[in-house]
Amino acid sequence: MPANNKRYTNKKNVNKKPTFHKKEVKVVGEKIFIYKPDMNVAAVAEGLNISNAAMIKRLMQLGLMASINQVIDRDTIEVIALDEGYEVRDEVITDVTRFDEMQIVDDPNDMVKRPPIVTVMGHVDHGKTTLLDAIRKSRVVEGEAGGITQHIGAYQVIRNGEPITFIDTPGHAAFTEMRARGAKVTDIVVLVVAADDGVMPQTIEALDHAKAAKVPIIVAVNKMDKASANPERVMNELSEKGLIPEAWGGSTPFVNVSALKKQGLEELLDVIQLMSEIDEFKANPKRLAKGTVIEASLDKGRGAVATLIVETGTLRVGDYIVIGNTYGKIRTMQDDLKRRYQEAKPSQPIEITGLNEVPQAGDIFMAFTDEKVTRQIADERQSRQRDGELKSVKKASLDNMLGDLESSEKVLNIIIKGDVQGSIEALKNLLEKIDIDGFHVNVVRSTVGAITESDVTLANASNAVVIGFNVRPASSVKQAADAQGVEIRLYSIIYRVAEDIEAALKGMLQPTFEEIVTGQAEIRETFKVSKIGTIAGGYVTDGVIKRDALVRVLRDGIVVYEGKLQSLKRFKDDVKEVRTGFECGFSIENFNDIKIGDVVEASQMKEVEVD
Ligand code: GDP
């Protein structure tokens, strides 16, 4: 995030709506280059008033081979800008619609101590999950409510009256992804290393990420209960990587623990609290809240649900809130023990409901008091995102059409929609790695939720294929896609997507079997019949349902079950098929959880000729 002590703003970026602008300072008579994060070669060339070719030549002189769309780091830009006689200054954002990039300056008198936020990282199987579970359970000792916990992505433990926040999604992916999106939601990293296994590749990876984020590290040497535990080896190996144990005169605390036997946890928590006392993490609770989304999903009963960590300010039930490009009014707030809250303070993780759509992990949120302003800000951000998406994809397809040699990349644009953030991320990472003779995938949009008309519109505009992972389009969306010639492909197994995309990129996507959706029925009644199970009374809204169909049960656009029909009836008679506009009764093999309002989609596998 740019430093906030400069007073200049880039005129080009000034938003047209005057309501959100406090000031715009013009610079006259000086050559000033305004730096913004993620500037690519073309943007820098424009800012320096030189041609793209001249810019590329400059970069080559510095030993960098870059294409027009490549992002250039600030140091490199500064070297070239100075050469061109420009002074580089960071952009100062005063436009509240860009609150995620905006730095908040608080009165130091309002700043109070806030709990530390801790992320646990380390090599797979070294005990991250076990450690997080053990710490979570340890709070029962403090006399807090025990009971059933639910995973919301983060939790707090109270120790000696002071809370500590733990991010409950172990792994680097989440950490790095959030950092890449500008969110800084970790104060301390606990690096878990198994004492019987020592430093492994992901230990080093985690270490690199923590160092890059300049976050202090505590090493938890785990599995000390094992006979083969060798903590000295861990200390030696990490010393070589620059983490010198305190015991050896260095500055990194090493704590021996056994997550399994719950040993050493108290000491680990002590060290965390000691470290946070030294670092003095502070925030201002006397302002509207700003913070980050840790996890988000579409809940069958509650709609869009998101776990937020409040970075600064106080979040209250009833607050209007913009998250990423969506907005809402906070209806409920609860923690991982399902305790309800009216307000959440800095560093507090809280699961909220009341959002219009599902945001993405890593999205920044900000609370507002006025509904109209909130809606305007969300609209503005949405249209900006759409413009950005369109611009980036139009460029790609145009490049292809013109056969531009410089960027002769061949790109398959893809929109990913899925039921949970985790699988979307996994899918996105997998697809983005595919490269077949220079052909690759460009993920235009990847969000949690059902496939919507907005996805179809974007796909049409960007010539993209929509991938639905465990989500389905509603009939109206499917019709829109058909009308616009947009291809929607639906999957429930990640590697199948990768296989198909690879095949498509090789230009040989020839499925021998294709799934043809034949029709949909809406469930209007259900009956429990002993011995048989639940019988659903449905109305065929579209196409035809056949007795031997494969069926998917959709609830709010999410696939809740896939299987086969067990019976199909019209009144009391078994029938082979039921067409649009007729009522029918059926049961599904091994599935009795069907509910009123569910949509059942019937399909059939059809052989496709291979030439
Ligand atoms: P993660 O992949 O880092 O999240 O690792 P897990 O927490 O899933 O642990 C991997 C395996 O190590 C599991 O079988 C755990 O039971 C085991 N494990 C974790 N902590 C300890 C420990 O302190 N001692 C022993 N003996 N086993 C442990």
β-bridge pairing 410-418 and 439-448: parallel
Q: Is 22 exposed, middle or buried (CB count within 10 Å of its CB: 0-12, 13-18, 19+)?
A: exposed
pLDDT confidence of residue 117: 94
Res. 106: pLDDT tops 60: yes
Which amino acid residue places its CA nearest to atom 18 of ligand 1? 127
Rounded mean pLDDT, 460-477: 83
The pLDDT value given to residue 457: 78
CA dihedral 486, 489, 495, 501 (to 10 degrees): -30
Instruction: Give domain status of residue 311, yes or no.
Output: yes
Ligand 1 neighbourhood includes 127 CB (under 6 angstroms): yes
Q: Which residues of 89-117 are buried (b: 16+ CB within 10 A; e: fewer)?
A: bbbbbbbbbbbbebeeeeeeeebeebbbb
Q: Are residues 271 and 131 in the same domain?
A: yes
- Confirm if 212 and 176 have CB atoms less than 8 A apart: no
Query: Please, how many CA atoms are within 13 Å of residue 345, restricted to the half-sphere of its CB?
Result: 14
Whether residue 261 is found in the same domain as residue 194:
yes
Residues 492 and 545 placed together within one structural domain of the fold = no
pLDDT at residue 401 greater than cutoff 50: no
More confident residue, 182 or 250: 250
Domain finish residue from 336, 351, 386: 386
Q: C-alpha angle 330/335/338, rounded to 5°?
A: 100
Residue 403, pLDDT above cutoff 70: no
Q: What does the pLDDT average to over 549-561?
A: 89
pLDDT in tens, 263-301: 999 999 999 999 999 988 999 999 889 999 988 888 878
Phi-psi region of 59 (alpha: psi -120 to 50; beta: other; left: phi over 0): alpha
Distance 185 CA to ligand 1 centre (A): 25
Shortest-distance atom of ligand 1 to CA 170? 4
The more confident residue out of 325 and 609 is: 325
Q: Count CB atoms within 10 A of the CB of residue 534.
A: 15
As a whole number, mean pLDDT of residues 529-540 equals 86
Q: How confident is the model at residue 442 (pLDDT cuts 50, 70, 90)?
A: confident
Give the Cα separation of 301 and 508 in Å (integer): 42
* Ligand 1 in reach of 223 Cβ (< 6 A): yes
**479 and 529 assigned to the same domain:** no
CA gap 461, 484 in Å, rounded: 10
Per-residue pLDDT of 60-76, as tens digits, reads 888 888 788 888 888 88
Burial class (CB in 10 A: 0-12, 13-18, 19+), 513: exposed
Task: Say whether both 139 and 189 belong to one domain.
Answer: yes
Domain that includes residue 224, residue range: 112-282
The residue out of 467, 491, 509 marking a domain boundary is 509
Using DSSP, state whether 406 is helix, strand or coil. coil
- Among candidate residues 494, 509, 524, the one where a domain is terminated: 509
Residue 473 CA to residue 452 CA, distance in Å, equals 7
Q: Which of 395-399, 465-469, 490-494 has the highest mean pLDDT?
A: 465-469
30 or 464, which is more confident: 464
Task: Assess if residue 402 is contained within a domain.
Answer: no
124 lines ligand 1 (CB under 6 A): yes
264 C-beta closer than 6 A to ligand 1: no
Please say if the pLDDT value at position 522 is more than 50: yes
Identify the pLDDT of residue 247: 93
Indicate if ligand 1 lies below 6 Å from the C-beta of 129. Answer: yes
Mean pLDDT across the stretch 133-151?
67
pLDDT value for 21: 34
pLDDT band at 26 (very low <50, low <70, confident <90, very high): very low
The mean pLDDT value for 598-609 works out to 79
CA of 379 from ligand 1 middle (Å) equals 46
Binning pLDDT at 50, 70 and 90, where does residue 389 land? low
Strands 32-35 and 87-90: parallel
pLDDT category, 20, cuts 50, 70, 90?
very low
Share of the chain above pLDDT 70, in %: 85
Distance of CA 187 from the midpoint of ligand 1 (Å)? 24
The CATH number that applies at residue 193 is 3.40.50.300
Bigger pLDDT: 157 vs 410 = 157
Among 130, 175, 196, which is best to mutate for testing ligand 1, by the most ligand atoms less than 8 A from CB? Answer: 130
Residue range 383-390: average pLDDT?
70
Q: Could you give the CA distance from residue 203 to residue 605 in angstroms, rounded to a whole number? A: 46
At 168 the pLDDT is 81
Same domain for 567 and 448, yes or no, is no
* DSSP string for residues in 67-115: -TT-B--HHHHHHHHHHTT-EEEE-----GGGTTTPPP---GGG-EE--
Whether residues 130 and 265 share a domain: the answer is: yes
- In the chain, % helix, strand, coil (3-state, to 5) comes to 30, 35, 35
Smallest CA-to-CA distance from 186 within 177, 202, 175, 172 is with 175
What is the domain-level CATH number for residue 335?
A: 2.40.30.10
Residues 492 and 537 occupy one common structural domain: no
Helix and strand element counts for the chain (H, E): 13, 31
Look over the chain and give the mean of its residue pLDDT values, rounded to a whole number: 82
CA distances from 281 to 244, 291, 349, 437, 508 (A): 24, 15, 16, 49, 56
Cβ of 557 less than 6 Å from ligand 1: no
Say how many Å lie between the CA of residue 129 and the centre of ligand 1.
7
- In ligand 1, which atom is closest to the CA atom of 263? 23
Lowest mean pLDDT among 15-19, 113-117, 315-319, 574-578: 15-19
Q: Number of folded domains in the chain?
A: 5
Q: Which two tokens stand for residue 316?
A: 């209250």
For ligand 1, whether the C-beta of 203 sits within 6 Å is no
Cα(286) to centroid(ligand 1), Å = 42
Give domain status of residue 267, yes or no.
yes
Q: Give the domain CATH number at 504.
A: 3.40.50.10050
- Residue 507: left (phi > 0), alpha (psi -120 to 50), or beta? left
Measure 131 CA to ligand 1 centroid, in angstroms: 8
> What pLDDT is stored for residue 464 in this prediction?
83
Q: Which DSSP symbol is given to 229?
A: -
Using a 6 Å cutoff on CB, does residue 220 contact ligand 1? no
Range of weakest confidence among 126-135, 169-178, 318-327, 564-573: 169-178
Query: Is the pLDDT reported for residue 486 higher than 80?
Result: yes
Structure tokens that stand for 506 in this block: 């090789």
Q: What is the pLDDT of residue 141?
A: 43
**Cβ neighbours of residue 522 closer than 8 Å, sequence gap 6 or more:** 538, 539, 541, 597, 598, 599, 600
Q: How many CA atoms lie within 13 A of 453 on its CB side?
A: 6
Atom 2 of ligand 1: nearest residue by CA position: 125
Q: What is the mean pLDDT of residues 241-256?
A: 94
pLDDT, residue 476, reads: 82
Give 584's strand partners.
538
pLDDT exceeds cutoff 60 at 392:
no
Same domain as 332, residue 307: yes
User: From the CB of 417, is ligand 1 less than 6 Å away?
Assistant: no
* Judgement on whether residues 381 and 315 belong to the same structural domain of the protein: yes
More confident residue, 472 or 230: 230
pLDDT at residue number 148: 64
Q: Are residues 463 and 350 in the same domain?
A: no
Identify the pLDDT of residue 330: 96
Pairing of strands 188-194, 117-122: parallel
- Over range 480-507, report the average pLDDT: 82
Residue 571 lies in a domain: yes
Q: Would strands 315-316 and 435-436 be described as parallel, antiparallel, or unpaired?
A: unpaired
Which atom of ligand 1 is the closest one to the Cα of 126? 3
Please indicate, yes or no, whether residues 366 and 425 belong to a single structural domain of this protein. Answer: no
Confidence of residue 180 (pLDDT cuts 50, 70, 90): low
Q: Which residues on adjacent β-strands are paired with residue 578?
A: 545
CA neighbours closer than 13 Å in the CB half-sphere of residue 23: 7
393, pLDDT greater than 50:
no
Q: Which two tokens stand for residue 350?
A: 């809280």
Ligand 1, atom 22: closest residue by C-alpha = 223
35-61 pLDDT, tens digit each: 887 788 999 999 999 999 999 898 888
β-pairing, 217-222 vs 188-194, is: parallel
Distance, in Å, from the CA atom of 119 to the CA atom of 188, rounded to the nearest integer, reads: 7
pLDDT at 608: 54
User: Which parts of 261-369 fold into alpha helices (H)?
Assistant: 265-279
* CA-to-CA separations, 89 to 7, 15, 56, 521, 608, in angstroms, rounded: 9, 20, 22, 60, 60
| In-domain check, residue 102 | no
Ligand 1 pocket test, candidate residues 167, 203, 260, most atoms within 8 A of CB: 260
Report CA(118)–ligand 1 centroid distance (Å): 19
Q: Report residue 398's pLDDT band, with 50, 70 and 90 as the boundaries.
A: very low
Distance CA 384, CA 97 (A): 10
d(CA 471, ligand 1 centre) in Å: 33
